Amino acid sequence: MSIPKKIKDGYFTYKIEQMPEEECSNFLGDFIRDDYKIRIDFNKHKDCVKDTLLHEMIHMWLCGLGLPPEMEEHVCQNLPHRMINTLKTNPQIKKFIFED
């Protein structure tokens, strides 16, 4: 499956784009609130791209909560890999949560 080009969150639609090459050495991705963009280095390993996308999605979800930036980053740094690992190792939970 290819990387989605956009993501909807409530009334907003965010573009998902390749991070510019010159910025890839410093960051795996970023969330640009004012431009409604998530940028990711798509050239990384697939699992890294998934983790980074989830990391930036958590920034998207938290942006309106008014958390101090350092607290927001702490949550975003630690939550994605735990979520992915839990869902991968507990397929019954994943199925229950995502079934229609």
Find out whether 79 and 51 touch, Cβ atoms under 8 Å.
no
What is the pLDDT at residue 57?
93
**Token digits of residue 29:** 């991705």
Find out whether 13 and 36 touch, Cβ atoms under 8 Å.
yes
Could you give the number of structural domains in the chain?
1
* Residue 84 domain flag: yes
What is the pLDDT at residue 48?
92
* Residue 58 domain flag: yes
* Residue 63 domain flag: yes
Find out whether 42 and 49 touch, Cβ atoms under 8 Å.
yes
Counting as low any pLDDT under 50, the low residues of the chain are: none
* Residue 40 domain flag: yes
HEC letters along 21-74: HHHCCCCCEEEECCCCEEEECCCCCHHHHHHHHHHHHHHHHHCCCCCCHHHHHH
Residue 24 CA to residue 1 CA, distance in Å, equals 23
What is the pLDDT at residue 22?
85
CATH number at residue 94: 1.10.10
What is the pLDDT at residue 69?
75
* Residue 64 domain flag: yes
Residue 79 CA to residue 95 CA, distance in Å, equals 20
pLDDT in tens, 3-13: 899 999 888 99
- Full domain range(s) for residue 57: 6-98
What is the pLDDT at residue 26?
85
* Residue 24 domain flag: yes
* Residue 1 domain flag: no
